[in-house]
Amino acid sequence: MIAEEPPAETAEHAARLAIRKTYKLFIGGAFPRSESGRSYPVRSASGDFMANAALASRKDARDAVRAARSAFAKWSGATAYNRGQILYRIAEMLEGRRAQFIDEVAAASGDGVSAASEVDAAIDRWVWYAGWSDKIAQVHGAANPVAGPYFNLSTPEPTGVVAIVAPAESSLLGLVSVVAPAIVPGNTVVVVASEERPLPAVTLTEVLATSDLPGGVVNLLTGRVAEIAPWLASHMDVDALDLAGVRDAGLATDLEIAAAENLKRVLRPVPASSDWAADPDVQRMLTFMEMKTAWHPKGI
Amino acid sequence: MAFEYAPAPESRSVVDIRASYGLFIGGEFVDGSGGRIKTVNPATEEVLAEVAEAGSDDVDRAVAAARTAFDQVWGPMPGRERAKYLYRIARIVQERARELAVLETIDNGKPIRESRDVDVPLVAAHFFYYAGWADKLRYAGFGERPLGVAAQVIPWNFPLLMLAWKIAPALACGNTVVLKPAETTPLTALAFAEICQQAELPPGVVNIVTGAGETGRLLVEHPAVDKVAFTGSTEVGKQIARSVAGSRKRVTLELGGKAANIVFDDAPIDQAVEGIVNGIFFNQGHVCCAGSRLLVQESIAGDLLDALKRRMALLRVGDPLDKNTDVGAINSAVQLERIRRLSEIGDAEGAERWTAPCELPDRGFWFAPTVFTGVSQAHRIAREEIFGPVLSVLTFRTPAEAVEKANNTPYGLSAGIWSEKGSRILAVADKLRAGVVWANTFNKFDPASPFGGYKESGYGREGGRHGLEAYLDR
Amino acid sequence: MTATVASNLSEVARSDAALRAFLHGLPGVDQVGADQRAAMLGTRSIKTTAKAWALDLAIRMVDLTTLEGADTPGKVRALCAKALRPDPADPSCPSVAAVCVYPAMVPAAAPLLAGRAHLASVATAFPAGQVPLSVKLADVESAVRDGADEIDMVINRGAFLSGRYLEVFEEIRAVKQACGDAHLKVILETGELATYDNVRRASWLAMIAGADFIKTSTGKVAPAATPPVTLVMLEAVRDFRAATGRQVGVKPAGGIRTAKDAIKYLVLVNETAGADWLHPDWFRFGASSLLNDLLMQRTRMSTGRYSGPNYVTLD
């Protein structure tokens, strides 16, 4: 995908230099560089230079949380039908750029054979979660038969702003598998992309930006997990923390300790060996949902 | 002439308190290796009994007993058999209801009317409810595998009820438990140990270790427990969340609150007044979901406060064993001191204090029902959990302002809405960030109804089908 | 209630629309909450001295009632004797507040009571009230003329339920006028009003129209008096006095048969309207068999033994 060698000139064709993409952050629906002005080189599985990715800073994390919080009221207030449509739209957009993603995933993982199936699985995963938007409350909510003249209904609601460390190995499917379940119930997220393989994630934000997903619902940071995640874990305006991609057990423990300061809901790291292609269950959605139980008397 | 209700004390003779209690481990009472703690009647300051303060070795023994019972008996037992034990326990609680209510009132200070009509019936109902789940877990949607040994630490405000909230779902799912009751209210948990014996519950399925905070810490941090369930302060909840970081332990926390009770101008006023009173003075305000912040629409604030004060003046404060007492004793000297200190801060910050006219007994720990008006969001009495019979009153002008003020807190356990307009109730209920929303009612509890908080009020739910999730491995 | 009520009260009956706007502007009553409040007050435990006091007060509040087609002057005379001296064996036992009879029985009762107890007559074509207004007024006037000093009228529930509040209002006004000096008790027949909201509205409507007492029921419709309905009415008289300065009495009638029930009602009064209403001038029980249970309990308090039906008189 990245033209690393200039194409050979021919007599008919004047030499044309390919246009490279600048891989930036995705915050509040915009594509800023890191406010720190820093970047880091991203290499392919074989070690070749592919691009410079933004090296997000503490302040980028702060801005991303602010953007996620601002987007929360509107996104959580949208109808479930609407959120489902938008997630499905993401799948449509992704399908249209399937070939591009296969190239990018293959370049990141060095595995050209499985890249296609990973991209297909990622597209299908958006579709799967899209359908949950207006079903999770039915499946997980309840009308409770209390012993008295009361209407009593439990409904799951989104927790709020979820900070996510995306899986390190599975650059696209892993990312989709943690972002989609967080946003489908109405949460907004700040996700730290795979540190070594961030490029498919950045390209995915281009899809998100053109899928009617309101700005700020997904915010993507690229950079060092060990640098950014502690700021997210300790941020008092973050409601939940998904440590899926944290590989350093000591760091994961520190992040969980930091998260305790405002009692964030925490998902502990997912083992590196786990198979993201396996069928998911509802657990990731439910971890980032709060059960609200409303009572009202029944009288005339 | 005034209608003076003569004292109508419930008889204490139905309880038989031993001078000294050991720990309940492996199905029998054993001596602890640590010190002793005295538990007192907060209404009289009389020492009721001495209980053991479980130390490290004791906690080890209790966890080991629970592990053995889990591996050998309770884990492998078919759900339908576990169910029968829980039904037995529910029935014995009903049979011994009066004794348990009196014991709870003596040890805790809550009015006998509440322990008799609320706490103990709900305890039996909770066991009855979860008994029925034990052989139906496959339908609940959380898997059927228990987690193992649950470490459970409960507070002093609803001692036996919190025990039921913890033990019933844990046992129904096939876990075994080590439970630590609160330092100041161990007696009903120890009576429950006798109930386990009467029910012939296999040894080690339920273990009760008494003690203070250090015992709780030893239990929660014990490496061999699989699950931690805690109800108590947000401060301790955070410590627990930190202590389990990086472990495989599952945790549920049910912590503090500063609930807004929102009264709109179209509220059913007389029931709203009852709801406000019930919201903050039920159980002396020692309720995590207490409606401690009254948000009243400005246009009716004057009338509502007049009605509230008139109603508060009728509250009967005094001997918790008197069947006519509405507000009992503050649970401990420590808690009384905290209520006094925060109330003084309310005075110092310029809020206006009004105290219900009532005579307080000379001995024991008492605090008269109190309301602060002229409170703003910035006041500490509007932000901090007082956990006592102290209501802070704030006003609002529009529904949006009410919601904004209600949510402007790190807590999110409960909230109240009073309005006769259905669509307004539904819209406001949607916007409130709280785990339990009571509309045109307050402080209602039921075993079938999930309970738990948003934000710093903790995570996980107790009660209902959702309450099973905390004790199952999907 | 609200201070604004007082200033507007004279105005609210100027038209059907205004009256409707006022009555429907009263705060709603949540049925479940009202039921629970009444039930909670029912758990008050009234013992020893408080119970003795309450039993005597309850006796003094009884409107000893007979409202049967089979009533005869003889039956009414016996009832009057019982009213004045409920326990022949115990001169310390107080007499009841009133005897309550049909208009035709008023002449039989009047000379016996002779001012020693009130004489209440139901009127206005009790219990259905389904006669023309002129007949109702004639009914009232005859009862008053024959010696009744209290009139228990029924409201026009049909008009109330179909929203013709002004018609109900004007009828009460007319009856009040016909009463002269006799006290007017307005029976709402709450068992037919269906909701507590309606009970609250009917209470206010009756009070604005001039009722001296508001009364739950005729006793001919089930349910008759219940604690929550009485609670709602006690709230109404409390709020009405706060708004207008005028105190109105409350009379639950029908279905109150035991001393225990009566004491629960007294607790309701004490903790809702307040001690000012704990007096026969402001609270009555419309009952017949209640009196004997009160007497048996009274005996039990004084002797320490349970009494039996053979030890109280049957009139």
Annotation marks residue C251 as catalytic: yes
Q: Give which of C80, C92, C30 is closest to C55, Cα–Cα.
A: C92
Closest-CA distance, A150 to chain C, in angstroms, reads 9
B446 touches chain C (CB under 8 A): no
**Which residues of chain B from 250 to 269 reach within 8 Å of chain C, CB to CB?**
266-269
Tens of pLDDT, residue by residue over B34-90, are 899 999 999 999 999 999 999 999 999 999 999 999 999 999 999 999 999 999 999
Mutation target among A135, A136, A146 for the B interface, most CBs of B within 10 A: A146
pLDDT of B80 reads 98
CATH class entry, domain B12-255+454-473:
alpha beta
Contact C1 B303 (CB under 8 A): yes
Strand order in the sheet with C62-65: C249-251, C213-215, C183-187, C150-154, C118-122, C98-101, C62-65, C285-287
* Token pair for B371: 């309301």
Long-range contacts of A57-61 (CB under 8 A, 24+ apart): A57/A223, A57/A227, A57/A228, A58/A227, A58/A228, A58/A231, A59/A35, A60/A25, A60/A27, A60/A32, A60/A34, A60/A35, A60/A36, A60/A221, A60/A223, A60/A228, A61/A190, A61/A221, A61/A228, A61/A231, A61/A232, A61/A235
- For the segment B181-188, the average pLDDT, to the nearest whole number, is 98
pLDDT of A1 over the 50 cut: no
pLDDT at C5 over 70: no
Please provide the average confidence, as pLDDT, over all residues in chain A: 95
Mean pLDDT of C17-28: 96
pTM, to two decimals? 0.96
**Complex ipTM tops 0.95:** yes
Task: Return the H-helix or E-strand segment holding A50.
Answer: strand A49-54
B371 CA: distance to closest CA in chain A (Å) = 26
Instruction: Give the pLDDT band of residue B1 (cuts 50, 70, 90).
Output: low
What mean pLDDT comes out for the span B456-464? 98
Q: Chain C: give the shortest CA distance to residue B304, in Å.
A: 9
Got the DSSP string for chain C? Answer: --HHHHHHTTTGGGSHHHHHHHHHHSPP--HHHHHHHHHHHTT----HHHHHHHHHHHHHTEEEE---TT--HHHHHHHHHHHH-S-TT-TTSPP-SEEEE-GGGHHHHHHHHTTSSEEEEE-SSTTT--S-HHHHHHHHHHHHHTT-SEEEEE--HHHHHTT-HHHHHHHHHHHHHHHTTSEEEEE--GGGT-SHHHHHHHHHHHHHHT-SEEE---SSSSS---HHHHHHHHHHHHHHHHHHS---EEE-BSS--SHHHHHHHHHHHHHHT-GGG-STTTB-EEESTHHHHHHHHHHHHHHSS---GGGS---
Q: Is residue C152 flagged as an active site residue?
A: yes
- Reply yes or no on whether the pLDDT at B308 is more than 90: yes
Whether pLDDT at B335 is above 90: yes
Q: Are B204 and B232 contacting, i.e. CB atoms less than 8 angstroms apart?
A: no
Give me the pLDDT at residue C131, please: 95
pLDDT, tens digit (0-9, with 9 covering 90-100), for A34-58: 999 999 999 998 899 999 999 999 9
Chain B residue at shortest CA distance from C268: B3
Structural domains in chain A, sorted by start: 39-297 (3.40.605.10)
> In chain C, what residues touch B268 (CB-CB under 8 Å)?
27-30, 33
B146-164 residue pLDDT tens: 999 999 999 999 999 999 9
Which residues of C make CB contacts under 8 Å with A?
30-33, 35, 194-195
CA distance B94 to A213: 55
- Subunit contact A295:B456, Cβ cutoff 8 A: no
- Bridge partners (DSSP) of residue B180 are B153
Q: What is the pLDDT of residue C3?
A: 43
Interchain contact, B125 vs A144, CB within 8 Å: no
- In this predicted structure, what is the pLDDT of residue C73? 97
Task: Check pLDDT > 50 for residue C2.
Answer: no
What domains can be seen in chain C, in order of their start residue?
A: 3-311 (3.20.20.70)
Q: How far is residue B206 CA from its own chain's centroid?
A: 20
Domain edges within chain B: 12-255+454-473, 260-439
CATH architecture of B260-439: 3-Layer(aba) Sandwich (3.40)
pLDDT, tens digit, 9 for 90 and up, residues B405-429: 999 999 999 999 999 999 999 999 9
Instruction: Verify whether the Cβ–Cβ distance A297 to C195 is below 8 Å.
Output: no
Give yes or no: C136 in active site: no
Residue C29: its chain B contacts at CB < 8 A? 268, 270-271
Under the banding of pLDDT at 50, 70 and 90, the label for residue A112 is confident
Going by C-beta distance under 8 Å and a sequence separation of 6 or more, which residues neighbour residue B106? Answer: B12, B15, B17, B41, B43, B48, B187, B320, B321
Q: Which of C103, C98, C104, C67 is nearest to C84 (CA)?
A: C98
Chain B: give the shortest CA distance to residue A135, in Å.
Answer: 15
Within 8 A by CB and 6+ apart from A224, the residues are: A40, A55, A195
